[in-house]
Structure 1
């Protein structure tokens, strides 16, 4: 059975969700360095923890780097399937 309401990417566990910006978008603040985005976008938030946040623990950075690689590989596979 589906739950009601929006679902949030697991990246939000590492960010403080701020005020709603409409259309399911929220202000986001990194819990490690307090960088702020007016419209938190999961891909940008993942890349921040994976590559840019100097205060992020290494195990968390490694986790998000691996997730981004997996997501990129999935997209490449889907594109290749469409081209065949």
Structure 2
């Protein structure tokens, strides 16, 4: 016959409780984070004040005019299978 001691029984019970309630908590946290993110963006931008047609002001303003918006990115190329030396083209 299969016997469990007190620590094994408590551990098994804890595992069952964790696995039963973990998906509920993960779903709740994800939904809650989305609401927090929306509230923060509404506080920063202002609800109903953002207009996607207007370009953001840039840091290179010259003579009081609105300059271009500089965007800096980092890019990592993981692989290139072949490069044609004549046409300088790459193959996926």
With the length of structure 2 as denominator, give the TM-score of the two structures. 0.30
User: Between Structure 1 and Structure 2, which shows a larger proportion of strand residues?
Assistant: 1
Output the TM-score relative to the length of structure 1: 0.33
The structure whose residues are more often helix, as a share, is 1
With a CA cutoff of 8 Å and minimum separation of 6, indicate the structure with the bigger relative contact order.
Answer: 1
